[in-house]
Amino acid sequence: MLGLAFVPGAILGLAMIRMPESPRWLAKRGQSHLARRVLARIRGTENVESEWLEIQKTLAEAEERGHFSDLFNPSVRMALVIGIGLAIFQQVTGINTVIYYAPLIVQSAGISTASGAILATAGIGLVNVMMTIVAMWLIDYAGRRPLLLIGIAGMILSLGVLGFVFLMPTGGVLAWL
């Protein structure tokens, strides 16, 4: 399983070789011609004049340096709390624990062979990846907040059912759940 994780990382690493630098970074380094060409390539059109002017304008303004104390500014405090809260809740929901112990969970549900449990765990991982792709597509149409609320409801329901199943004797319909 560990060796298989090398494959997507290698694909990403090889694909990154062909990825251009950002137009803003190139412009900041004085490579304006290349920056405009990359911007046109990214946007799929040669008409990038307004965006190019905006990049030049932001680079011409004095460079702002942030300080750690800026995080406690009332204007960003709510965004900071929400961002940190989401990161914490993402970890404490237990999905990492469920995935880590998935072979044991599946075996206790009635799949007795280790290979069957690992295959079922691979299926769980596949569903996880596929739903992540679906969510990336949906986020543009439904928005972040509705997806977050639906996801929270789904986590509450699924983790509640999983906890209930562990309290009951295994076998039958409960094993399927």
Would you say 72 and 78 are in contact if contact means Cβ atoms under 8 Å apart? Answer: no
Size (the chain), residues: 177
Q: What is the mean pLDDT of residues 74-96?
A: 86
Split at pLDDT 50, 70, 90, the class of 177 is: low
Query: Residue for token digits 């799949």?
Result: 111
The model's pTM is 0.52
Instruction: Give residue 78's identity as a one-letter amino acid code.
Output: M
**Displacement of CA 125 from its chain's centroid (Å):** 14
CA distance 142 to 149: 11
**Displacement of CA 19 from its chain's centroid (Å):** 20
> In sequence order, which residues have a C-beta less than 8 Å from that of residue 58 and are 6 or more positions away?
24
The pLDDT score that the predictor gives to residue 64 is 65
**Displacement of CA 157 from its chain's centroid (Å):** 21
**H or E element, residue 85:** helix 74-92
Q: In the predicted model, is pLDDT for residue 86 greater than 80? A: yes
What percent of the chain lies above the pLDDT cut of 70? 92
> In sequence order, which residues have a C-beta less than 8 Å from that of residue 110 and are 6 or more positions away?
170, 171, 175
Residue closest to 159 by CA, chosen among 96, 109, 83: 96
pLDDT, one tens digit per residue, over 101-156 is 888 878 877 777 888 888 888 888 899 899 889 988 898 888 888 888 988 898 88
Q: In the predicted model, is pLDDT for residue 14 greater than 90? A: yes
